[in-house]
Structure 1
Amino acid sequence: MQTAKNSTQERIVTAIFLVTGVFVVGLINNFWLIWTVLGVIYLLAFHEATRLFGINNNSLYAYAAILWLAAALYPYGEDLFIIAGLIFAAAVAYTQNIPWKNFFPFVYPSAGMLFTLSMYQEYGITSLLWLLVVVASADVGAYVVGRSIGKTPFSISSPSKTREGVYGGIAVATAAGFFIGITIVDMPQAIIISMMAAISAVFGDLFESYLKRRAGVKDSGSILPGHGGVLDRIDGYLFASIVMLVLLRGLV
């Protein structure tokens, strides 16, 4: 009982620090500050991803750092992601001794982090607030609805999730995201983008659960007391950010 209480207290304290940090960074709203904060998050998540993928190659961190430095100078993160893929494919063909799985961390979490930075550059801090509200609402909504009326299992990759919880979380996230999205886009786009980002967040969380089950670990890391690792906190954002930016560009 005491252990559970201490774990809950740790979780609450960590959450307060995280929320406060996000609020301060958002209030300052400076590109270099956001680039730095996202970069730290990215490298920590990259490290955790290599662990989940079963990769032991320290040189990959240097390439990840170079990729993020390039993102500070070049505004289209998805271009850098594609170029990184081409370079890796060329290196594989040239050497014939590089495991393909070494590129996995450059897909996950790299793509989502690059899209997040690009979305900030193109649509400003409000777009990141929109993303934050949608993903957080999907998570909270799924938990509350799932605990209240959830009965039907959603996926074997995440046994604790229920279909009722997932549907409830998407509905809550769509409604909450709408009120932020409407300040950037028109009403139909705000609804569509919020809903699609919420659905993506669900599967972002599910994908990380799948990776953890394959790796045989409970959390992606232990850097956040009571919460696990960085990937445990940003998994939904890594999928949702990509979908949100693509839809913003395509529908607006």
Structure 2
Amino acid sequence: MKTRIITGVALFLAVLAIFIIDSYLLNFIILGIVLFFSFVESEKLYGLKEKTLVIIAMIFYLLAPFSNPVFIAILSVLLVLSVLAHFKSESLRSVLPFLYPMTPIFLIWMLYSEFGIAYLAWMILTVVACDSGAYFVGKFYGKRVFSLTSPNKTWEGVAGGIFLGSFVGAFLGYFVTEDILHSLLTSLFVAAFGVWGDLFESYLKRNAGVKDSGDIFPGHGGMLDRIDGYLFGVVAMLWMLSW
């Protein structure tokens, strides 16, 4: 518990510094680092050993600032599928890391590059609030199991997390959009999707027979363990912003 809290506080301060500095180049580099470690961790979860896949992912990432990141992500998926078909591969697993986590990470870059750091901070802090609320409410009041995929998650914890995420997100979103209703609805969807992002990560780890995706962050596991909620939450955020 102590190690988890210390690491969590350190990560929060680091992210806060990134928000304040708001350097386009620095943020691109940091997200690239996130992509690299997340992609490598996902390969282990998918049972892949092709070391060239992460190199391909990073090459496509370098193209993201010059075009719509969604199109770049789709292009990379289609390219990998084309190569697999060309060589008559017996498995399509090699494309999985390009679908998750690469494509959602490209969407995070899209959110930042098109809407700015305030919207990225809004999304991230909403998921952080949801995670924190779910953890503490679940720890002290949780009784009913939310999903067999992750027996430690409870309905009480999920409800507490979504409530806190929605409340904090609505507060932050109001200063960004000056529309309290849209901020509340957006934060509600981001928090809910964040919960499912965390659950999906648990599903992958359970199938792979591992506790954490990695060991980069003491008490928190790997990179994917830290960003799983954002990878689903960013989709909800961009969807709501498209209204």
Shorter-chain TM-score category? over 0.9
The equivalent residue for 1:198 is: 191
Q: Deviations over 1:146-204 (max 9, x none)?
A: 22322111001110111111011111110100011112332221111100010100000
Written as runs of structure 1 = structure 2, the 5 A alignment for 1:101-112 is: 101-112=93-104
- In structure 2, how many angstroms separate the alpha carbons of the residues matched to 1:143 and 1:13? 15
The equivalent residue for 2:53 is: 60
Aligned CA RMSD, in angstroms, stands at: 1.4
Q: Which TM-score applies when normalising by structure 1? A: 0.92
The equivalent residue for 2:77 is: 85
**SS at structure 1 position matched to 2:146:** strand
The equivalent residue for 2:133 is: 141
Deviation at 1:28, TM superposition (A): 1.1
**SS at structure 2 position matched to 1:16:** helix
- Residue in structure 2 matching 1:95, options 87, 92, 111: 87
Gaps of 5+ in 2: none
Q: Does the C-alpha gap of structure 1 residues 115 and 10 become closer, same or farther in structure 2, counting only changes over 3 Å?
A: same
**SS at structure 1 position matched to 2:73:** helix
- Residue in structure 1 matching 2:107, options 115, 135, 138: 115
Residue 168 (str. 1) matches residue 160 (str. 2): yes
The equivalent residue for 2:229 is: 236
**SS at structure 2 position matched to 1:108:** helix
Residue 184 (str. 1) matches residue 176 (str. 2): yes
User: Which portions of structure 1, spanning 4 or more consecutive aligned residues, are displaced by more than 6 angstroms?
Assistant: none
Is the 8 Å Cα contact of residues 81 and 95 (structure 2) preserved in structure 1? no
The equivalent residue for 2:17 is: 24
Is the 8 Å Cα contact of residues 144 and 154 (structure 2) preserved in structure 1? yes
Q: Which TM-score applies when normalising by structure 2? A: 0.95
The equivalent residue for 2:203 is: 210
- Residue in structure 1 matching 2:39, options 46, 66, 84: 46
Deviation at 1:98, TM superposition (A): 6.3
- In structure 2, how many angstroms separate the alpha carbons of the residues matched to 1:142 and 1:16? 17
Deviation at 1:72, TM superposition (A): 2.6
**Count of matched residue pairs:** 242
Residue type at the aligned position of 1:202:
V
Aligned-pair identity (%): 39
